[in-house]
């Protein structure tokens, strides 16, 4: 399997509920030498395109619509011609950042995207955001969790549109159904594995 994961970190801000924070976001690109998917579009379109490295971008897949994950999605769409994909339950969050235009196509639980012969499964994991999704790549033994699961536990649920009970239920039902050895590529910070996080969270 020639499919691989490429990565960079970009800095910017996250704003919600009238507060703004400095944040570092992971950029994840999964694909082969010809084509790729970009997972989230934080802060800096040139930094994302540097990771893409001239490959054809097939889609810009948003794990959720907090502004630090979708800020440059429309610009990246313009530069690559790739559609922006988002779960429709995150519309209220998307509209806070991009009130004038929507994304291009909806993500749905159980949907399968294909890149370079690998299958990417969409898992709807509401809690951090109503339309949060994780993206599982069986062939690579990894899952991209956005802000749903970090090294050390679930993502934040203290702000609008979040639900603390729901995020734990989503993690248990959708993520802990996957193998313990699955590598977790998060929206912020270091990788972990599902086994480690299962031990931390219990379940
Ligand atoms: Zn978030």
pLDDT single digits (tens) 11-21: 999 999 999 99
User: Measured in angstroms, how far is the CA atom of residue 2 from the centroid of ligand 1?
Assistant: 30
Query: What are the angstrom distances between the C-alpha of 78 and each of 54, 72, 146, 148?
Result: 15, 10, 23, 28
User: Measured in angstroms, how far is the CA atom of residue 38 from the centroid of ligand 1?
Assistant: 17
| pLDDT of amino acid 50 | 98
User: Measured in angstroms, how far is the CA atom of residue 49 from the centroid of ligand 1?
Assistant: 22
User: Measured in angstroms, how far is the CA atom of residue 64 from the centroid of ligand 1?
Assistant: 7
Q: 73 near 62, Cβ under 8 Å?
A: yes
pLDDT single digits (tens) 88-136: 999 999 999 999 999 999 999 999 999 999 999 999 999 999 999 999 9
How many CA atoms within 13 Å lie on the side-chain side of 117? 8
| pLDDT of amino acid 137 | 98
How crowded is residue 72: how many other Cβ atoms within 10 Å of its Cβ?
A: 22
Residue 38's H or E segment, with its range, is: strand 35-39
Q: What global pTM score does this model have?
A: 0.97
Q: 61 near 42, Cβ under 8 Å?
A: no
Residue 166's H or E segment, with its range, is: helix 164-170
């Amino acid at each position: 399997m020639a499919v691989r994961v490429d990565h960079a970190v970009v800095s910017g801000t996250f704003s919600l509920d009238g507060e703004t924070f400095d944040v570092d976001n992971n950029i994840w690109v999964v694909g082969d030498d010809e084509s790729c998917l970009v997972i989230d579009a934080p802060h800096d379109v040139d930094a994302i395109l540097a990771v893409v490295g001239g490959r054809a971008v097939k889609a810009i897949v948003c794990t959720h619509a907090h502004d630090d994950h979708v800020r440059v999605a429309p610009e990246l769409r313009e530069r690559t011609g790739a559609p922006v994909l988002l779960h429709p339950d995150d519309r209220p969050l998307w509209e806070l950042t991009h009130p004038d235009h929507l994304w291009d196509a909806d993500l749905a639980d159980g949907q399968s995207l294909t890149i370079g012969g690998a299958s990417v499964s969409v898992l709807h994991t509401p809690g951090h955001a109503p339309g949060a999704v994780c993206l599982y790549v069986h062939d690579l033994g990894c899952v991209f969790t956005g802000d749903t699961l970090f090294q050390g536990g679930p993502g934040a649920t203290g702000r609008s549109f979040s639900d603390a009970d729901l995020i734990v239920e989503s993690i248990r039902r959708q993520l802990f159904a996957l193998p313990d050895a699955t590598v977790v590529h998060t929206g912020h910070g270091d990788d972990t594995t599902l086994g480690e996080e299962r031990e931390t969270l219990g379940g």
